[in-house]
């Protein structure tokens, strides 16, 4: 059996953890630059606050109903996510946990007898909530797809399910799939959902009973066949190795305000390279290539229109590296090639690719021995920045004022990762 643990309205739950006065009250969290609503509590849903809708479109209903609004606080969310995942690992073992996203994890429960599954899931839920303060829902079933179905229904009917649903018998699976529209099945995209409705296939049980050959022809070949089998309780999507080698590491952000100058774009790119390089070293990798991209917004017919366009430049390295200075030297010329005067720049990003273990890099015979010691320097810089935060040591290319930085006007304190922002009890 496989279970999925899903944190309820995760970003909002993180904010509520340090604001108990907001329990049972509507809360929303905004995206980068406070643009759109990316997380909302059940109370916010009930009063009609839209998901993924622009903040300004919901501002009237938010103010009318005294909805608590927060900017994204990724330091807080990342730390609390790690605590939830570490709790799960301590309960059932590291190899039995697959972190699927910042607020979801699959669990392999094959070691638990079928008679004790529901009780075990209840205990896992209770322990996570007690140790971390984050409310979770758990769905379990013979396959990943069925566990996602169970999880969705457990969240939809919290009073009835108490946040836990286990699908074991054919009757339980049939009942759950009949209550699940094809639109809500994990792996069925929007276009396939429309196609299925047009064919008269509206719920999961109807889809489950379609022939595998039909799925192969009408739902993307092997992917469609695999989905049908998963709905029938035949596992086809295995648990992934948590130590699986990554193919790339990226850092990208929207600008806090539109950018027009090359100097600011270069500052942003250098900053994002620094962030990506820290991630690279933290996972003991080195990169063999770098890609820099920007997103622009043009003007048409002397009238403003939202018309985002992406531009990319790429470079390969002779020798893999995780040195921030070296990566910046590669990135800045690419930013210069991307820049075109007069355009309005909304976003920039850096992608480091061709990752290899940093202990397997072949040294260069034509470089002085001291050049091979940069890893020690980078480790020292990383340790200082991690302990003091806020980039106390940074490269001059990253800039000093950084007027282009992301807006977070309603961000809460970073209670768990900053000494000067610790929660105070009076």
pLDDT digit string, tens, across residues 196-247: 999 999 999 999 999 999 989 888 889 999 999 999 999 998 887 655 667 8
Whole-number pLDDT of residue 370:
59
Whole-number pLDDT of residue 244:
60
pLDDT tens, residue by residue, 58-86: 889 999 999 999 999 988 999 999 999 99
Return d(Cα 26, Cα 18) in angstroms, integer.
15
pLDDT tens, residue by residue, 86-119: 999 999 998 899 999 999 999 999 888 888 999 9
Q: Rounded mean pLDDT of 149-170?
A: 89
Q: What is the mean pLDDT of the chain?
A: 88
Domains and CATH numbers, the chain: 95-125+132-231 (no CATH), 248-398 (3.30.1490.100)
Q: ∠ at Cα 328 (325, 334), nearest 5°?
A: 160
pTM: 0.82
Q: Which residue has the tokens 């976003």?
A: 347
Nearest to residue 152, comparing CAs of 164, 170, 168, 169?
164
């Amino acid at each position: 059996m496989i279970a999925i643990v899903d944190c309820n309205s995760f970003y909002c739950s993180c904010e509520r953890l340090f604001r108990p006065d907001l329990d049972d009250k509507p809360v929303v969290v905004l995206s980068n630059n406070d643009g759109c609503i990316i997380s909302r509590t059940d109370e916010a849903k009930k009063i009609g606050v839209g998901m993924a809708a622009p903040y300004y479109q919901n501002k009237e209903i938010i103010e009318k109903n005294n909805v608590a609004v927060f900017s994204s606080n990724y330091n807080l969310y990342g730390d609390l996510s790690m605590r939830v995942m570490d709790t799960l690992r301590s309960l059932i073992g590291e190899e039995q946990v697959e972190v699927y996203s910042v607020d979801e994890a699959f669990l392999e429960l094959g070691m638990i007898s079928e008679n004790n599954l529901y009780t075990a899931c209840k205990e896992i839920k209770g322990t996570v909530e007690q140790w971390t303060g984050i409310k979770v829902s758990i769905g379990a079933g013979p396959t990943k797809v069925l566990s996602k179905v169970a999880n969705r229904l457990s969240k939809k009917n919290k009073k009835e399910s108490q946040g836990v649903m286990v699908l074991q018998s054919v009757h339980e699976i049939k009942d759950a799939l009949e209550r699940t529209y094809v639109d809500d099945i994990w792996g069925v995209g929007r276009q396939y959902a429309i196609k299925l409705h047009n064919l008269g296939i509206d719920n999961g049980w109807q889809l489950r009973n379609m022939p595998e050959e039909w799925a192969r022809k009408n739902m993307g070949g092997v992917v469609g066949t695999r989905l049908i089998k998963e709905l029938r309780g035949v596992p086809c999507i295995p648990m992934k190795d948590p130590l699986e080698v990554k193919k790339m590491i990226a850092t990208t952000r929207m600008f806090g305000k539109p950018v027009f100058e090359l100097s600011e774009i270069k500052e942003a790119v250098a900053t994002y390279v620094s962030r990506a390089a820290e991630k690279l070293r933290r996972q003991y990798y080195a990169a063999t290539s770098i890609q820099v991209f920007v997103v622009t917004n043009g003007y048409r017919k002397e009238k403003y229109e939202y018309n985002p366009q992406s531009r990319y430049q790429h470079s390969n390295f002779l020798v893999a590296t995780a040195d921030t200075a070296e990566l910046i030297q590669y990135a800045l010329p690419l930013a210069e090639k991307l820049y075109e005067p007069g355009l309005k720049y909304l976003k920039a990003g850096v992608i480091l690719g061709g990752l290899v273990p940093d202990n397997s890099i072949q040294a260069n015979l034509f470089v002085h021995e001291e050049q091979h010691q940069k890893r020690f320097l980078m480790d020292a810089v990383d340790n200082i920045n991690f302990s003091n935060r806020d980039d106390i040591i940074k490269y001059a290319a990253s800039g000093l004022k950084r007027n282009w930085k992301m807006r977070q006007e309603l961000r809460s304190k970073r209670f768990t990762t900053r000494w000067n922002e610790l929660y105070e009890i009076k």
